Amino acid sequence: MAQLTIQNLHKSFASTTAVDSVNLHVEDGELICLLGPSGSGKSTILRMIGGFEHPTSGAILIDGEDVTRLPPERRPTGMMFQSHALWSHMTVFGNIAFGLKLRRLPKAEIRDKVESALELVGLGGYGTRMTSQLSGGQQQRVALARSLVLEPKILLLDEPFASLDQHLRERLREEVRDIQQRLGITTLFVTHGQDEALAMADRIAVLRDGRIEQIAPADVIYREPQTEFVAGFIGTMN
Ligand code: ADP
Ligand code: MG
């Protein structure tokens, strides 16, 4: 379990301000959805927390430790992207074990950890399959197992189900919420789908042009939007 604190985070690319004065505190075990239109800075915030992008200014603290300048592999974060980017020439086991092998864990321990991660995502016994033989939903489950197997303190999910059909997306978001609550893992979940955010989040942060426009529990965002932008954005849900 871990707390995440973001202090006055900025990111500019040439003349574009992608992230503008973002402050955010995420409690132990909380799931926050970053919700906003395309280009509002959601991915850039996540990538900075994961260490894949350097902030122009500001700080990122995990359990009070400043990780702003640490490389991704030295941060206690696990990140899953929209495109799962599994290695298709490897088995499911190989994909999930990769990070554990880099850490030079003993073989038996790697086997145990990979199998528990697979069971957690409902793919027990799938280790010897090639990832190219799996369905889209199964591949996203493998990607999730790969981010969980390193036992991150903070889980970062960037529109993980965007490429899947509606039915599968709804199922997977329930599974992720269930796993997240069982592990008690502090999570940031990026989506541009209002229904997804309302269904999953402890709190929703609505983003606009790199700023947090409102942050509140889902029902408060829904009933008491603070700005017209938030009202309009949530209102587009049917
Ligand atoms: P979102 O995930 O909400 O769609 P992004 O964080 O991807 O938004 O992008 C926020 C803004 O930053 C956009 O205007 C985007 O074009 C810009 N941006 C993101 N990454 C880069 C980059 N590597 N180089 C230049 N501009 C970028
Ligand atoms: Mg994005």
Instruction: Measure CA of the first residue to CA of the last residue in the chain; give whole Å.
Output: 35
The residue type at 79: M
Task: Assign 52 to helix, strand or coil.
Answer: coil
Q: How far is the CA of 128 from the centre of ligand 2 (A)?
A: 32
In ligand 1, which atom is closest to the CA atom of 45? Answer: 6
Segment (H or E) for 156: strand 154-158
Band of residue 237 on the pLDDT scale cut at 50, 70, 90: very low
Ligand 1 and 162: CB distance under 6 A: no
Angle between helices 136-148 and 92-102 (to 10 degrees): 20
ipTM attached to this prediction: 0.99
Residues 205-221: what's their mean pLDDT? 96
Which tokens hold the place of 208?
Answer: 């606009």
**pTM for this one?**
0.94
Q: What is the mean pLDDT of the chain?
A: 93
For the cut 50, the answer to whether the pLDDT of residue 178 exceeds it is: yes
At a CB cut-off of 8 Å and minimum separation 6, what does 177 contact? 31, 199, 200
pLDDT at 102: 87
Greatest distance between any 2 Cα atoms in the chain:
56
Ligand 1 and 40: CB distance under 6 A: yes
Ligand 1 mutation target, pool 15, 42, 43, 44, most atoms within 8 A of CB: 44
Which tokens hold the place of 92?
Answer: 């499911």
Ligand 1 and 147: CB distance under 6 A: no
Ligand 1 and 13: CB distance under 6 A: yes
pLDDT single digits (tens) 66-115: 999 999 989 999 999 877 678 888 999 999 999 899 889 999 999 999 99
Band of residue 236 on the pLDDT scale cut at 50, 70, 90: low
